[in-house]
Amino acid sequence: DTEVTQTPKHLVMGMTNKKSLKCEQHMGHRAMYWYKQKAKKPPELMFVYSYEKLSINESVPSRFSPECPNSSLLNLHLHALQPEDSALYLCASSQGLLANEQFFGPGTRLTVL
Amino acid sequence: GIQVEQSPPDLILQEGANSTLRCNFSDSVNNLQWFHQNPWGQLINLFYIPSGTKQNGRLSATTVATERYSLLYISSSQTTDSGVYFCAVGRIIQGAQKLVFGQGTRLTINP
């Protein structure tokens, strides 16, 4: 089973709202990732977690707050977003941190009004 | 940082045609993956191919790491092959693998 699940599929929020995106995998993978993809652009890395610890933060604004409560679950907490943050947010996982194949979830399509 | 260039950017073909997509990268890499992104945004793993040649049905891929390029071959195209094909290369940064994506090739297969 190479499935990564993400909820919700779609999310519309105002600039003053607080919301969270959820990602789950049950493949025993120890590394998890958040990517952001704007329309007609490639995905761009935001955060990397390894063994539930933050390994990489690609200078992401603090209005995006990641959390890894356990090895199967990754959250992205959103607060005071801007309309330009509207994008497809993709979660991925890999067995380990180094040179391993990454598997992606279906994404959450976020619209900020 | 590492540069990843894909060509062609757009490709329009008739059903049944064959195609070759190319990915060039500017530095040595630990990982190379090919993905197909469907119209709903799902990234589907096609190949994990840091080097060598692999085949899966009508698709095959070759990576020549020493010359810093990879090729994806699609034979006997079907309309369901339409979508964007991404090449992504991995490098170890700060003890973790960072995947950098090319701009993609948008493939349209007409019936």
> Of B86, B97, B98, which is closest to A42 when you measure between CB atoms?
B86
Q: Which residues of chain B have pLDDT under 70?
A: none
Asked whether the beta carbons of residue A56 and residue B93 sit closer than 8 angstroms, the reply is yes
In the Cβ-directed half-sphere of B71, how many Cα atoms lie within 13 Å?
10
% of chain B at pLDDT higher than 90? 89
At residue A96, the pLDDT reads 80
At residue A100, the pLDDT reads 86
Cβ atoms A105, A74 nearer than 8 A: no
Is residue B25 exposed (0-12), middle (13-18) or buried (19+ Cβ within 10 Å)? buried
Cβ atoms A20, A77 nearer than 8 A: yes
Q: What letter does residue B94 receive in the DSSP assignment?
A: T
At residue B57, the pLDDT reads 97
Q: What is the largest CA-CA distance in chain A?
A: 39
* Structure-block tokens of residue B15: 């059903």
Q: Which residues of B touch A97 (CB under 8 A)?
A: 95-97
Asked whether the beta carbons of residue B41 and residue A42 sit closer than 8 angstroms, the reply is no
- Dihedrals φ, ψ of B65, to 5°? -65, -35
- In order along its 113 residues, chain A shows pLDDT tens digits of 569 999 999 999 999 899 999 999 999 999 999 999 999 999 999 999 988 999 999 999 999 999 999 989 999 999 999 999 999 999 999 998 776 899 999 999 999 99
Asked whether the beta carbons of residue A100 and residue B31 sit closer than 8 angstroms, the reply is yes
Cβ atoms A105, A43 nearer than 8 A: no
> Of B41, B42, B99, which is closest to A102 when you measure between CB atoms?
B99
A/B interface, count of CB pairs below 8 Å: 70
DSSP character string of chain A: ---EEEE-SEEEE-TT-EEEEEEEE-S---EEEEEEE-TTS--EEEEEEETTEEEEE-S--TTEEEEEEETTEEEEEEES--GGG-EEEEEEEESSSSS---EE---EEEEE-
At residue A2, the pLDDT reads 65
At residue B97, the pLDDT reads 84
Asked whether the beta carbons of residue A42 and residue B35 sit closer than 8 angstroms, the reply is no
Q: Give residues 15 to 74 of B whose Cβ lies within 8 Å of A.
A: 30-31, 33, 35, 40-43, 45, 48, 50
At residue A1, the pLDDT reads 58
